[in-house]
Chain A
Amino acid sequence: MAVKTAKEIRKKSPGRNRLSLLVNGQPFELEVGTEPYQVDPAHTLAHTLRETLGLTGTKISCDHGACGCCTVLMDGKAILSCMTLTVECNGKQIMTIEGLSDPKTGKIDPLQQAFIDYTAFQCGFCTPGIIMSAKALLHENPFPTEEEVKEGLSGNFCRCISHYHVVKAVMAASKEVR
């Protein structure tokens, strides 16, 4: 039976067939295509990070841009990787939760340490996304007020209600910088 698959259709689509990404400081040259090792034009950045690059610290929860679990940094700004197509990321610098540690010493980021010190998580599934949003916030506003922290994290879903501990951890991390 001749079924024209999405794969076959995509094979014929024109366009660039390579893209380069800098993920956590490491350059990646990825082929665009439909083989498992390639980046399908329909793949989201969340999918590529998790399935192609094996960076599973970035979580997918709603896959719909609502919950913030998949938050990563693109050129320093927080983005939802489930709402971003990988093919649109050519030449971009991406930072994921795995990239926050000091590349030389391996020491975790003071923000991550604050999350440990304040037990700012329960089940932990939403935590990488929250940390990445907080990282972007502190990058833009190193000394936020509590209200600004809450506003900055308002796109991140947490069901266990770790919110109160998270706000304390982010405030503590910002004070440390201060």
Chain B
Amino acid sequence: MANTYRYIGKATPRKDATEIVTGGAKYLNDIKFPDLLYGKVLRSPHPHALIKKVDKSRAEGLEGVKAILTWEDVPDWKGGTPRYTRILDRKVRYVGDAVALVAATTEEIAKGALHLIDVEYELLPAVFDMEEALKPGAPQLYDEFPGNVVTPGVPFFGPKSLKEVVMGDTEKGFQEADVIAEGTFGYENIPNPLPPEPPGAIALWEEPNKLTLRVSNQASYMDKITLFHVMERKVEVRSIGGPCGGSFGSKFMSWQVQSYAALLSRATGKPVKLIFTKEEHLAAFTMRPASRMKARVGMKKDGTVTAISGTWLIDTGYYSMTTQSQVAVGCGEVQIAVRCPNWNLRPVIVCTNRNASGIVRGFGGQELKCILIPILSLAMEKLDIDPFEFLKKHFVKPGDGYFWRDGIWYTYRGVDFAKAMDKGAELFGWKDKWKGWLKPTAVDGTKRRGVGVGVHGNADIGEDASEAYVRLHPDGTAMLFSCVTEHGTGQRSNYIKMVAEVLQMPMENVSVTPSDSLINPYEFGPAGSRGTYAIGSAVIAAAEDAKRKLFELIAPMLQADPNDLETVDGVIFVKSHPEKRIPWRAMSIDRTLTGYGRFEPDYTLTNCMMSFVDVEVDTETGNVTLLRVVNTTDVGQIIDPPGLEGQLNGCLGSGGIDSALFEETILDRSSGHILNANMIDYKWRTFSQLPVIDNVALETPFPSHRFHAVGVGEIATSPGPVAVLMAVSNAIGLWLHEYPVTPERVLKALGKVPTGARKGGAA
């Protein structure tokens, strides 16, 4: 279908492009304030301990120190789900837990003061493994979580919030199966999404209860909401976002760093900036949850899945803010990817004495796919079923349904993704490269090639509410009010594009407000892939509402019916008599017109991404090289081609495909210390190691909004890791059960190095 849009689907420069390439974009740490103080956090060297005594006197004597706060000095602000994690507590629960907060006139003085605070600890035994933590007699992290099991459920998702996938009769399902496969797989390498800009906040407290925060977040309005609840619903919070130097989900939840800055400002009466160091970012800010699954699946000869039964253990580290949400969404997503009438999938979220897990692209579903698809693969292997055909057959089709995060059944009404999957398989050459399970595609001496495929889909594209205003001005310009920050997807520019398309006006004449909660309406933010459909719908509705108001005002002047009017480039005319025209300024120079748009959640649409990977394994060194990735999706309508391509290329980074290859946070399971909390020891892909990436994005119109588009960015990272595990297993002819597929693990599987327990790192 030819694109008849003026802007939609065309490459247009990002609105912030010039600022970004000239260094003019002001990220959080670039903002200057007079009288600014700098905050630092004293962190626990012990994984589990009670604070017996804190002596601040030496630190207080240091010139320039303005405040030192410990658990005894702060209000009982709490986060977590349920809200049991104190902002500063008498007990520390991981190496890095906050013990004291310092504000000083310079960063150096604040840092220096940390060394002068004397803390006496009473050490407690610690636990670093999920199964150990569940055993009777294991060290207990919270009185409120007996057995270290975190209370399931998400109040925000409603009373029936999804906690598991249980339906049908699994016993009957296993009886109907031709084969039953069983296995255990672990995705426990807790990769860090690691945006380049570290987490931070700048806070200004005004007595008695007013807080203004500068934040770095993809969803700055939600900081106001989150903190309101953390701060006992007594504080009036204004959150102001700006350019966000990467988030990938993680900065959506920055309540701790924001609360630290707020408490220090409250104690000093001055604005306080607190920016984490990269070491803190890696060791004391959230990372991906760890997942382990032991499950049985039943399958018929034709690939029909008859039963899935198993336990999904999720290690959330020392607390959970969103892990229950990730479990709920993951449980919904797994039904989108695998059609099965009989389920008994039981998640258990466990607390251990390590740094916390939190939001990362893939949000529960990536974790679950990484460990469930391999178990399904064991059954496919027994039946010689092609995984591509299996995944294509099982992915949700119009008329199918799923229980979503709220525990309610939804019937899918979107497009069939099979066409996109076929297109991707063809481009990749799947039919030629797939040689059967545990069979390499090619062997050349010690080098063996293998291929794999994965899939993911998320009905979060229509999750949660969004609101927007569009204000029209007599000079022919428009302003969008939306509390969306730019975190790399280009969506702020895309909303301008949508407004310009609806109002048929030059994009230069449309601006967007700063993402300040004081001036903008409610916005959940571009979480998951909701930016295009959910936020886009609110923006489009606001622009249409503004246009309607404009036509109602102008219609009498043109002696026409409002429905007969159209506007192009700031001029309104009668559609049937274009010579009857009048410019926007006829609305009068002392008037503006504001349209309002709101999006109500809709879980009947999902996106989809399938990734194919081709790897080469050197059986002598164990090294795995990713040669090629093909991503395929159907997005209904591309809004911005380079922006979409960038999102799909993002499949490698931010805890995506590379979390199957080499990325891992290495936890020393004897001391609780993270051993690679710096960017030299934490491995990341460089420019000189780029595989070939080909992206397919079909445009089958979706029944979403007026541009028939859906978002897909979030899930780019999700299908790839399991595809890598599959490809490497095929290349070497043996199943690997753990991520990432390090040379050590490959050589162990091949029997070339002893299989002794590894010190530190994931088991």
Chain A residues, CB < 8 A from B654: 159-160
Chain B residues, CB < 8 A from A113: 21
| B679→A156 contact, CB < 8 A | no
Most buried by B among A112, A155, A163: A163
Residue ID in chain B nearest A40 by CB atoms: B108
| A119→B688 contact, CB < 8 A | no
Smallest CB–CB gap between A122 and chain B, Å?
4
Chain B residues, CB < 8 A from A153: 687
Quick one: given A150-B687, A153-B687, are A3 and B62 in contact (CB under 8 Å)? yes
Per the bound structure, the CA–CA distance linking A54 and B30 in Å amounts to 9
Chain B residues, CB < 8 A from A156: 686-687
Produce 1/0 per residue, B417-437, CB < 8 A to A: 000000000000000000000
B18 contacts A by Cβ under 8 Å? yes
Produce 1/0 per residue, A86-128, CB < 8 A to B: 0000000000111011000000100011011111011111111
B362 contacts A by Cβ under 8 Å? no
Per the bound structure, the CA–CA distance linking A155 and B248 in Å amounts to 22
| A125→B246 contact, CB < 8 A | yes
Chain B residues, CB < 8 A from A155: 686
Per the bound structure, the CA–CA distance linking A164 and B649 in Å amounts to 8
B653 contacts A by Cβ under 8 Å? yes
B123 contacts A by Cβ under 8 Å? no
B690 contacts A by Cβ under 8 Å? yes
Residue ID in chain B nearest A63 by CB atoms: B278
Smallest CB–CB gap between B148 and chain A, Å?
32
Quick one: given A56-B26, A116-B21, A123-B245, are A150 and B688 in contact (CB under 8 Å)? yes
A45 contacts B by Cβ under 8 Å? no
B621 contacts A by Cβ under 8 Å? no
* Among B81-89, B190-198, B347-355, B468-476, the stretch in contact with A: B190-198
Residues A1-32 near B (CB distance < 8 A): 1, 3, 5-7
Per the bound structure, the CA–CA distance linking A158 and B653 in Å amounts to 8
| A125→B27 contact, CB < 8 A | yes
Produce 1/0 per residue, A62-97, CB < 8 A to B: 111111010000000000000000000000000011
Residues B244-270 near A (CB distance < 8 A): 244-248
Residue among B62, B488, B684 making CB contact with A123, cutoff 8 Å: B488
B324 contacts A by Cβ under 8 Å? no
Residue among A64, A122, A123 making CB contact with B678, cutoff 8 Å: A64
Per the bound structure, the CA–CA distance linking A160 and B14 in Å amounts to 16
Per the bound structure, the CA–CA distance linking A67 and B244 in Å amounts to 18
Residues B642-673 near A (CB distance < 8 A): 642-643, 645-647, 649-654
Chain B residues, CB < 8 A from A121: 17, 20-21
Per the bound structure, the CA–CA distance linking A12 and B46 in Å amounts to 38
Chain B residues, CB < 8 A from A57: 22-24
B135 contacts A by Cβ under 8 Å? no
Chain B residues, CB < 8 A from A63: 277-278
| B23→A97 contact, CB < 8 A | yes
A53 contacts B by Cβ under 8 Å? no
B76 contacts A by Cβ under 8 Å? no
Chain A residues, CB < 8 A from B61: 1, 3
Residues A40-68 near B (CB distance < 8 A): 40, 42, 50, 54-67
Quick one: given A64-B278, A165-B642, are A108 and B687 in contact (CB under 8 Å)? no
Smallest CB–CB gap between A35 and chain B, Å?
10
Smallest CB–CB gap between B33 and chain A, Å?
13
Produce 1/0 per residue, B163-183, CB < 8 A to A: 000000000000000000000
B57 contacts A by Cβ under 8 Å? yes
Smallest CB–CB gap between A121 and chain B, Å?
5
B243 contacts A by Cβ under 8 Å? yes
A131 contacts B by Cβ under 8 Å? yes
Chain A residues, CB < 8 A from B486: 123
Residues B583-602 near A (CB distance < 8 A): none
| A127→B21 contact, CB < 8 A | yes
Per the bound structure, the CA–CA distance linking A160 and B23 in Å amounts to 18
Chain A residues, CB < 8 A from B11: 119
Per the bound structure, the CA–CA distance linking A101 and B11 in Å amounts to 25
Per the bound structure, the CA–CA distance linking A107 and B633 in Å amounts to 39
The 10 closest A-B pairs by CB, nearest first: A57-B23, A125-B245, A123-B488, A122-B488, A97-B23, A124-B20, A56-B30, A66-B679, A1-B61, A119-B642
Starting from the known contacts A66-B678, A115-B20, A157-B196, 4 additional A-B residue pairs (CB-CB under 8 Å) come to: A100-B22, A122-B646, A163-B690, A164-B693
What are 8 sample pairs from A and B whose C-beta atoms fall under 8 A apart?
Answer: A56-B26, A113-B21, A116-B14, A122-B490, A123-B245, A151-B687, A159-B654, A161-B646
